[in-house]
Structure 1
Amino acid sequence: MLLVGCGEEREEGPVPSPDSESAEAPPTLDTRNTDSGGATGEGNSRVAGKGAGGELPKAGVSVRSAGPEKQEVPAVPEIKDDQPDFVPGAGVAKPFSPQKVIHPVIAKLSPPEFVDEIVTIPMAISSTSALASRHVQQGLAFIQAAWDFEAYRHFCAALQLDPDCLMAYWGIGLALAAPNNEFSKERQIAVMRMIELVDATREVNGEQLPIASKMEQDYALALAELFRLRGKSNEAFRSLSERYPNNLQARCLAIYLERDGFDDFGPRPKQAAAMREMELLVGENPDNVGVLGFWAMLHGEAPEATTTLREQILPVARKIARNAPDFPPYQHLLGHFEWRCGNHMLAENALAQASQLYESHMQKHGLGVHECEGWVRSQLYLATAMHSRGKFEEALAIAEGLADIEVNPERLASRGASLLIWEAKTLAARLYLARGRKGDFGEAIGSLPGKEDAFLAQVKERTLSVFYLECLMQYLECRKALEEGEVEIAHKKRVALSAILERLDGLKPQAFKSASISEYLRALGGVKVYVAEARGLVALARASTDAQKQIARSWFKSAVEKQQRPTLLMPPVVVSPMEVRLGEFYQETQQYDKAVESYQAAIRRRPNDLASLQGYRDSLMEIGREEDALEVEKIISAVQR
């Protein structure tokens, strides 16, 4: 699970609002947050409610869960309160087939490889097999690095060697904690088996001895408690860390699970406390990759690239990447922080390296995009980093390549499929939007799946992404109409967009039962920004007085405020900062001092964003600050190199 505060979404309780940071329940290492955020149609012939793939599902009608199984799987195992300490009773471990927790996707793969350089938080693992213990240690390290699929592979490998290894079941429970994923059934069975093994015994040299150590038993009970409370309390892991103060993993988990994210003013109280505690832990373990990873992840969603991010966290991310240069998640982590700090070329290099490493791993192990979401994620981020430094054509080529990848309709619940459907298939359109040249809105419309798209026709009843696509389409058609001077048509498209957004927002209960909750929340947040911007643009096009223009300004300010914080080590849904839109308004109305302030705000949000720098330079020239403008021009040249 992504070691980000959710991640993609969490402020986070098990059911956060769309603007919250966390959408995963419980708030374990896999958290899904969001930073901001089609279907092609025949021009203005489209009507609201008709979307990609045909008729949109009716609001209030449940959307079937995706995946081979048609049943809906609860987010966490059902553990009744009347079960004493969640332990069914002591005794000899009952026979159990580990195949019950090994999904067919995993079963057909060869044994996973070891990456010793990332195993830095040791823990004694009780097992009859030394190799099984090693697999569990490796799986725990993969969880810490947010590579859950590979973690799951290692835990399964451990169970094939020792079917009664409690910590292997514990690891499966944590690695697959995200609700409604394609491995939910296996996670449920694994957690229940873990509970059965808490006080179970096995015969060793004629004696009945506990299968697990006391500390491992306490680990199991802490995870069971976290699931039972659906992430609402971290007391179990806090108690675990206090009971075993020398167990580094327990301390890291207790601190990390305590976080509650950021708001517009910085870290919330629990987030700040977690950051202080983890900083002390880093001081005790300055070269431990695992501890450094937790520390970096705690800052992954900071609202702005503060001095702390540049001077304290970026060096740590670089250190992590140096210590594991061939490990793709850590190259992606480095790319994220380089981009957040405005080092777009360095970000591009790191993300390209991550993509290449993921691709090599996929080829070596016979994996596809459904099994390796990290590759999709790194490609999405790479395209964004390229766009940030003016490499639009290169970014567009990546976006178009991602959009062409086929998604297996039977594996919609996989993380890779969710990213492709919601993020990859819309990336080209969002890049065109960010550039905004004449004709780009038409190109963006053409890049989205149309209502005749064969894949969407198969899955439209099983994914809410059709509503997102329709929102993007209406927004693009509004922008295209404005470009062509058709203000009233633009107004109608804007009204239709608002209506579809209302429907999309109303589908939150269905979204929380789906495997794409993170993507849904990111998309929803992005559409809210687009709606506010569209209202401002239409108001500006209709305005004939200064007072009417101020209405447009208010909507642009609303769009700025609706932008979301960075989440999930993902690029923003809305590629261009809305402060740029506000700056353009001030330039158009010849309020250049305010334009300068808006572009400065854009640069604080996205350091060295090319469009922000160019607007800043031009506004400085307008108010006679030529020397400052020349300095900005030097930065622009460096960014574009």
Structure 2
Amino acid sequence: MKWILACGLAILPTLNAEEAGGGDSEEQAQGFDVNGLIAAPVAALAKPSFLPEAGEPGLLVFSNSLEAQEHVRQGFALIHASWDFEAYRHFCAAVQADSQCLMAYCGMVLSLTNPQHEFHEQRARAYNRMLTLAEFKVDGEFYYPENERMYAVGVAELIANGVVNSVRVFRQLAKDYPNDIQAKLLATFLGRGGYNALGNPRLAQREAIATFRKLSEQLPQDPMVANFLVMVQAEAPYQAVDFKGELLPLAEQLIELSEGKVPSWYSLLGYIAMRSGEVEKSEAAYKKAIEGYVQWQERDGVGLADNEGRLRCELSLAALYLQQKNYKKADSLIAKVNAYQFPKEREYSNGALTQKWYGKLMPFKSMMEQGRYKEARKVLPAPLTTERRSMDPYSAIIVAYQLYCDAVELIEADDNKKARVAHGKLALMLAEMQSMQSQVANSYEFADFIRALSSLVTLHKELTALVSEGEGLASNWFKSAIESQQVGSRILPPDILYPVEFRYGRYLVKKGEKEEAKEVLGEALKRRPCYVKSRDLAESLGE
């Protein structure tokens, strides 16, 4: 089968012929400059070290350079381990060793998949180069093997036309080349079906889990397979998976298979242990992940801007401490993260954005958890502007949190009349932010903005319940807020530190509905088993 490349998206139409290179003549291919694909922070570093413990994709890479082949295999293994920056470094090393290695360009594009990535220009060049090489012919015949051209098509479809078309290609690739385990892993993971509104796995999700389980039985010592089996279920609703009985042992096995040398897998273990209610294991895993990232950073001379894994783990650990009411440890760690300095020209790096959107907002969330509302408002970053028409997305989120804080403080003071006014202002603010989405769709901060906005919508529903005058109406709004909670991210700290069920349970206790409160608090502990306030309140109600 001859594959038609997905060229529907003109990613960088301004590239000149020399930059595109390789398509019609050897002279063009030789004229291509790989340096245009290598971002300055990577160009300043030495070649990356190899980490065989991350797994071996077993790819047959079409290249005369053994060095390029090894870097390509390592790069794909690191993509699967959710360590994209280090994967990108390996693909950069691969194209430097062989500028005509098609699989290196496929991997480079895949490692920079995020549309708002800081290195989007490098991704665009890699994308165009990938398409050019995949179409290259000698004497009328395609130069590159069919399977590599299919990889290029699959990656191009993912970038240009979305997951559905990409899955179709990777499924065909896995069928045509059954020994290519990576193709099967990608096809299965990208084609997973997720969970429905009731928290049950859809058919495609059940099939994906079954496929990964079968592969795990066939390849019990393959860390990549074990990783995919955990990842495909890690962000499931709490009622859909037995985190403690099923996923936690798998995550621990992944650490054993990788000899504890892959920090991103320690991060995954920390997240799974947290959702399992295993506080000590979660804390230890996050600390190991941080230690691994720090060692890598110091050994390779990588800056904090490109070590977002470290910041995310530090903030996730701080969130764990906050759930345990260990405020002193949490606040110390948060302050440490927020003291990090980033070069001005790297303000849109993953590290800087992690600090801005998660680190800088966490002191506010810590103060709110402690009931220190006046201090909470003061520790929020200052918005660049409060003028609604010219407000940037980050300022909008800050203003929304200010209004939320005002409403909560008034509710706690039993001043529902004024609380309803603050609640109404927040409703108007959220409506404006909803309309702001299209304006910031191409922003570096779009994904973080959408995540924060979704959390604020949940918090607003909870506020609506608290300011409602009718008890039946309040219960309906609480249930709506509970249903709208986001499932926790395996790589990011939680936006909302508590389960909404806890707030509903506390409301029911105040209303004297003890038995119903016990049931709701039981659900709170299932969703967030490490959140001790739910446990404490449930225990105070007795048997």
In the superposition, the TM-score normalised over structure 1's length comes to 0.77
| Farther off after superposition, 558-567 or 403-412 | 403-412
**Secondary structure of 1:267's partner?**
coil
Compute the displacement of 1:408 (Å): 4.3
**Secondary structure of 1:370's partner?**
helix
**How do 1:494-505 residues align onto structure 2 when only pairs under 5 Å count?**
494-505=423-434
Distance change >3 Å, CA 511–CA 408, structure 1 → 2: farther
The answer to whether the 8 A contact 1:579-1:602 is kept is: yes
- 2:129 pairs, out of 174, 193, 197, with 193
- 1:246 pairs, out of 169, 179, 187, with 179
**Could you tell me how far apart the structure 1 residues matched to 2:370 and 2:162 are?**
42
- Paired residues, what number? 523
- State percent identity of aligned pairs: 28
Q: Give the aligned partner of residue 121 of structure 1.
A: 57
Q: Give the aligned partner of residue 158 of structure 2.
A: 226
Compute the displacement of 1:120 (Å): 2.4
Q: Deviations over 1:373-423 (max 9, x none)?
A: 111111111111222333121112212222333454533432222222211
Q: Give the aligned partner of residue 238 of structure 2.
A: 304
Q: Give the aligned partner of residue 405 of structure 2.
A: 476
Q: Give the aligned partner of residue 111 of structure 2.
A: 175
- 1:366 pairs, out of 301, 308, 326, with 301
The answer to whether the 8 A contact 1:305-1:341 is kept is: no
Distance change >3 Å, CA 469–CA 315, structure 1 → 2: same
Equivalent residue letter for 1:131: E
**Could you tell me how far apart the structure 1 residues matched to 2:532 and 2:50 are?**
41
Q: Deviations over 1:191-239 (max 9, x none)?
A: 111121125369xxxx999763332122112222333323232211111
The answer to whether the 8 A contact 1:583-1:595 is kept is: yes
Does 2:503 align with 1:590? Answer: no
Q: Give the aligned partner of residue 354 of structure 2.
A: 419
**Could you tell me how far apart the structure 2 residues matched to 1:484 and 1:125 are?**
66
Compute the displacement of 1:139 (Å): 0.6
**Could you tell me how far apart the structure 1 residues matched to 2:523 and 2:108 are?**
43
**Secondary structure of 1:232's partner?**
helix
Does 2:168 align with 1:235? Answer: yes
Q: Give the aligned partner of residue 604 of structure 1.
A: 526
Distance change >3 Å, CA 425–CA 461, structure 1 → 2: farther
Q: Give the aligned partner of residue 569 of structure 1.
A: 491
Q: Give the aligned partner of residue 149 of structure 2.
A: 217
Q: Give the aligned partner of residue 311 of structure 2.
A: 376
Q: Give the aligned partner of residue 506 of structure 1.
A: 435
Structure 2 gap segments, 5+ residues each: 1-7, 14-20
Distance change >3 Å, CA 244–CA 273, structure 1 → 2: same
**Could you tell me how far apart the structure 2 residues matched to 1:577 and 1:308 are?**
18
Q: Give the aligned partner of residue 248 of structure 2.
A: 314
Q: Give the aligned partner of residue 558 of structure 1.
A: 480
The answer to whether the 8 A contact 1:132-1:162 is kept is: yes
Q: Give the aligned partner of residue 36 of structure 1.
A: none
Does 2:210 align with 1:276? Answer: yes
- 2:367 pairs, out of 427, 432, 435, with 432
Higher relative contact order (CA 8 A, sep 6+): 1
**Could you tell me how far apart the structure 1 residues matched to 2:411 and 2:246 are?**
45
Q: Give the aligned partner of residue 26 of structure 1.
A: none
Does 2:381 align with 1:449? Answer: yes
Aligned alpha-carbon RMSD (Å): 2.7
**How do 1:538-557 residues align onto structure 2 when only pairs under 5 Å count?**
538-539=467-468, 543=469, 548-557=470-479
Does 2:228 align with 1:294? Answer: yes
Compute the displacement of 1:138 (Å): 0.9
Q: Give the aligned partner of residue 18 of structure 2.
A: none
The answer to whether the 8 A contact 2:76-2:87 is kept is: yes
Compute the displacement of 1:433 (Å): 2.2
Q: Give the aligned partner of residue 5 of structure 2.
A: none
Equivalent residue letter for 1:299: Q
**Could you tell me how far apart the structure 1 residues matched to 2:221 and 2:285 are?**
21
The answer to whether the 8 A contact 2:91-2:107 is kept is: yes
Q: Deviations over 1:64-112 (max 9, x none)?
A: xxxxxxxxxx987379xxxxxxx99665462211011111121111211
Which structure's residues are more often helix, by fraction?
Answer: 2
In the superposition, the TM-score normalised over structure 2's length comes to 0.90
Distance change >3 Å, CA 571–CA 265, structure 1 → 2: same
**Secondary structure of 1:262's partner?**
coil
**Could you tell me how far apart the structure 2 residues matched to 1:302 and 1:151 are?**
26
| Farther off after superposition, 363-372 or 342-351 | 363-372
**Could you tell me how far apart the structure 2 residues matched to 1:257 and 1:549 are?**
44
